[in-house]
């Protein structure tokens, strides 16, 4: 029984970590694409860097910049969004969807870790 509890906790924590790391991988990809294909947009959103990606001359391993540029009310898109091509728009839309799921993934990580810890302590 306790092993099952530990396994459930490990699966929950692992899946949520996978989701969180996936967000940062997509963030790096989108920022790199924006920097290369739409440098004026990258400048307009504050020259953000990703988790592992940054332009030449910047820190190569830094904390990702603020992602507030992904926040806007539907129907009130920022001006720079209309200048993007279909590929960049798809990447930004994917990031927005993933960002909304981050609190759920973080919660799953905490709950999964607690379940696994309880399973180990009780067992």
Split at pLDDT 50, 70, 90, the class of 5 is confident
pLDDT of residue 29: 93
15: closest CA among 122, 101, 108, 119? 108
Q: What is the pTM of this model?
A: 0.74
> What's the pLDDT at 3?
80
Tell me the torsion sign for CA atoms 71, 74, 78, 83: positive
Mean pLDDT of the chain: 83
- Torsion-angle region of residue 29: left (phi > 0), alpha (psi -120 to 50) or beta? alpha
């Amino acid at each position: 029984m306790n092993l099952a509890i530990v396994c459930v906790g490990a699966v929950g924590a692992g899946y949520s970590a996978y989701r969180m790391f996936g967000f940062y991988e997509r963030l790096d990809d989108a920022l790199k694409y924006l920097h290369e294909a739409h440098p004026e947009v990258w400048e307009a959103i504050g020259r953000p860097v990703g988790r592992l990606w940054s332009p030449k001359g910047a820190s190569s391993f830094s904390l990702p910049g603020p992602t507030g540029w992904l926040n806007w009310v539907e129907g009130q898109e920022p001006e720079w969004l209309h200048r993007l091509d279909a590929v960049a728009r798809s990447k930004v839309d994917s990031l927005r969807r993933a960002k909304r799921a981050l609190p759920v993934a973080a919660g799953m990580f905490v709950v999964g870790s607690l379940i696994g810890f309880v399973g180990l302590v009780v067992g």
